[in-house]
Chains A and B, each alone.
Chain A
Amino acid sequence: MAIIKVKTGGITADAVTDALIADDVVGTEHLTANEVDTAALGADAVTGAQLADNAVNSEHYTDGSIDTAHIADAQITAAKLASGVGEITEVDMWRLTTGYSGASDITSNWERADTDNFAVLGTGLSQSSGIFTFPSTGYYLITFIANFVRNGDDRGMGAGIKLTTNNSSYSDLAFSSTFIQQTESDATTASASVNAIAHCTDVSNVKISFNAGGAGTNTNGNTGFQETGFTCVKLADT
């Protein structure tokens, strides 16, 4: 049988149908460069194997589309966090400016530390008549130190933190005590320190106050440095 060679000019436009092409014979050399468009690709047809390594950039992600399931465990390092995320947001420091004698709630002569380069971080606590209000709800670490002096003996003096949850009645949150036994026949010093976590769930009702001293003993105040005073650090939101 004679072989008929059909030249390109003998085929009309669009005459070669899909049925006239054998399966799996069209190689990529028959495709015009950049000619395979989106419509020619089936849905979900491009698999990971078709993607070159390190080729998919963030411009190809839909905004906000990376969900938790697509982040492997323990993959977010500190370097990936924006500045301020996860950092301490509240640091404050207050002190008693003026000494007094006896055991007493400390209702006056408070000042925010203003020496040695201290500056409040965040909003800070507010104070009125020795009642301290938190700037926001959360967990706060309170560390209170009181220094005492007495020219004699005192078998009991202390420092305490009180907390109210109804802006009215206070109970002891923490208390620490110490004693003075006179040394070298002169005024002798001692200190008591205490710390606690205050959980503020309502800034209008959860507040703290302080007390310190002992009968016949002086509690020291100082405006130049922390002698009797406290620090407050917010650890976390509630």
Chain B
Amino acid sequence: MRPTHIEDYLISLHTGQWFGWSDSKNKVYANLIIHDDTKDKPSESDCTNGLATLQSNFDTAETNATNKKASGKAKLKELGLDDAEIKALINA
């Protein structure tokens, strides 16, 4: 699942319930609260950039997976397997 919210970034920073929202129906940075005094509140730009990085990493992983699948399939074809055989092997 592609990260879609700064909460996804915040969860990735520390374990446990170290943060929450003053208004859970409006999860924007301004409503971010920190429950755990030993944890620092990240800046808004940290959250925005952190989410962007997570999304980029996800997209890269997706692209890599797609490319690897395609290249693997091509190599199998070069070995003489037909599409039905390849699908039976890797469902591709």
Contact = CB atoms under 8 A, between A and B. Distances in A.
Q: How large is the interface on A (under 10, 10 to 19, 20 to 34, 35 or more residues)?
A: 10 to 19
A98 B36 CA distance: 14
B10 to A, nearest CB: 9
Interface string A63-95: 000000000000000000000000000000000
B7 A149 contact: no
Contacts of A187: 1
Contacts of B65: 185
Question: Which range contains the number of B residues in contact with the other chain?
Answer: 10 to 19
Contacts of B20: 97-98, 108-109
A104 B1 contact: no
A98 B19 contact: yes
A98 B1 contact: no
Given A149-B1, A187-B1, A98 B21 contact: yes
A152 interface: no
A223 B15 contact: no
A101 B1 contact: no
B11 A100 contact: yes
B91 to A, nearest CB: 10
Contacts of A99: 7, 11
A102 B7 contact: no
B24 interface: yes
A101 B18 CA distance: 10
Interface string A107-139: 111010000000000000000000000000000
A98 B16 CA distance: 11
A89 to B, nearest CB: 28
Interface in B60-82: 61, 65
A209 to B, nearest CB: 13
A102 B16 CA distance: 6
B17 to A, nearest CB: 5
A223 B28 CA distance: 13
A76 B82 CA distance: 76
A106 B18 CA distance: 11
Nearest to B14: A101
Contacts of B18: 100
B49 interface: no
A97 B1 contact: no
Nearest to A189: B1
Contacts of B25: 223
Interface of A: 97-102, 104, 106-109, 111, 149, 185-187, 215, 218, 223
